[in-house]
Amino acid sequence: MNLKGTKILLLHAFLACVLISGSFAQNARIKVDLDRKIGEIDKKLYGNFVEHLGRCVYGGIYDEGSPLSDDRGFRKDVLEAVKDLNVTITRYPGGNFVSNYHWIDGVGPKDERPPRMELAWARLETNRFGTNEFMEFAREIGTEPYFSVNMGTGTIEEAQQWVEYCNVKEGPFFAELRKKHGYPEPWNIKYWSLGNEMDGFWQMGHLNAEDYAKKAREAAKLMKLTSPDIKLIAAGSSNYRPNADPNEWNATILKELRDVVDYLALHMYVGNPDDNYYNYLSTPLVLEERTKVVKGLIAREMENANRGKRDPIYIAWDEYNSWYRARDAETMAGTRALEEHYNLEDALVIAGFLNVFIRNADIVKMANMAQLVNVIAPIFTNEEGLFIQTIYYPLQLFAQNAHGTSLDVFVDCENYSTDEFFIGLGESITQQDNVPYLDVSASANGDEVIINVVNRHLEKDIETDIISQSGEFSGSVNIFEVNGPSVKALNDFGKTEVKTVEKGTVKAKGEVLTYRFPAHSFTQLHCKIK
């Protein structure tokens, strides 16, 4: 046999082995089609939360007498960091705190306000920061205020009076009281939630679904009669512990309040107490499953709703985060409560949550990371300054860039399956099958396309073909990456191991852009498709 024949036989043998073994390495694929639209991305997806808990308010955003504060008591370094985060809407004042909070204690001359026992988080509430101080803070950072009324120990009349104080220009007693306190113009607060986590046995004034729905309906009636244009958020389920039935709670609330409220609030915290990276990185998919279940419940009730020209009910994920280290009796109480120190894997989970919100932009119209400063927060302070936690950076990239229309992207990559594990304290065991190593969302604003990619793989870079199915890539692609030397890398005072790095630009032309996503990374690509 001549040399040519030998080469042909060897080639055939090689191809046969490849076909049998499947050893051809094919790139992962992400397909982007500008015509496959999910929904408009609401700017309220990039919200946050300020609760009177630990050092979130006192020693966080508000620190009277500190050389770092302005003459109003606001920490100037915190103001700058919050502005850079582009917080679009901020929930206040709780949280568990609100179920025993009486707003009247926090207005008027500061030295005349009564200190109270704070029963939710075991601390003294001085009430030196209240409604008007928060609104000054909100105006300073350019965020939409979102207030929560006390549906625990509070009354429906108290809720109505707070709306009157905030939203009525003049005339009735509480509007005139605001003017007497030095604020002649109403704050015109649009978003109000009807309590917090009322299905939770831990909540002060906890109610069953039927009793909560009755109280919320009557509070809503008084509040809307006072300020007809406000938007109301009902307390959906936050209790996924054994023997709880969150879907039954949500179904009842939606049925009873389907003509009353504008959003259903959902909460979820996750963690990695067993130090299983791959289990932990899959937790945003549990949030996505819960989103789809509630979306179905909403659709069923909307068939029989009488809402006139109002929008259907949407979902507000108005508490979400990673929270598991500072979650025992010692770390959940007092002035240093809930002070988590976040690492890279936490930041990747947050990027996964944000991807879920984008992928479900048709139904999720509000999201609030809990919380803003010190308390399970992206910003951490001491008496001398602050540092930026790892979870800050993906939220900042999304908030500054991911706007417009959410796109339904196709992803083809290797998958993995998890063990059975708890997603959070006391919550039921779950297991995830076929978790893609690449977690992807995309948005289009005109011809600009933002592609967000988490590479969950702990060790492997993933070469990926990004394919445009409705045009060609044009011009430069700007690339931003959040990563670190290991998934346990974290930031601290004077040390930044994880941050956003601008990786430069690459030229793109044609229908295919190939990029290698580094292991354990979040990457955001800014493209143009013509």
Catalytic one of 51, 164, 197, 481 = 197
Active-site position among 319, 340, 345, 481: 319
Q: CA 383 from chain center: how many Å?
A: 28
What letter does residue 470 receive in the DSSP assignment? S
φ/ψ (deg, to 5) at 386: -150, 165
- Which residue do the tokens 């919050």 mark? 82
Provide the CB-side half-sphere exposure for 108 (13 A, CA): 11
Phi, psi of 44, deg, nearest 5:
-75, 0
Pairing of strands 473-483, 499-510: antiparallel
The Cα–Cα gap between 215 and 346 comes to 38
Taking a C-beta distance cutoff of 8 angstroms, is the pair 236, 255 a contact? no
Q: Which tokens in the block code for residue 127?
A: 């009430």
Beta strands 448-455 and 438-445 are: antiparallel
Biggest CA–CA distance in the chain, Å, is: 105
Query: Which residue, 6, 138, 121, 115, is CA-closest to 52?
Result: 121
The backbone torsions φ and ψ at residue 498, rounded to the nearest 5 degrees and listed phi first, read -130, 130
Beta bridge partners of 499: 483
Angle (nearest 5°) at CA 191 between 190 and 192: 120
197 is catalytic: yes
- H helices within 313-420, ranges in order? 344-359, 392-401
Of 152, 157, 129, 141, the closest CA to residue 51 belongs to 129
Contact between 302 and 258 (Cβ < 8 Å): yes
Task: Indicate if 319 belongs to the active site.
Answer: yes
Catalytic residue IDs: 197, 319
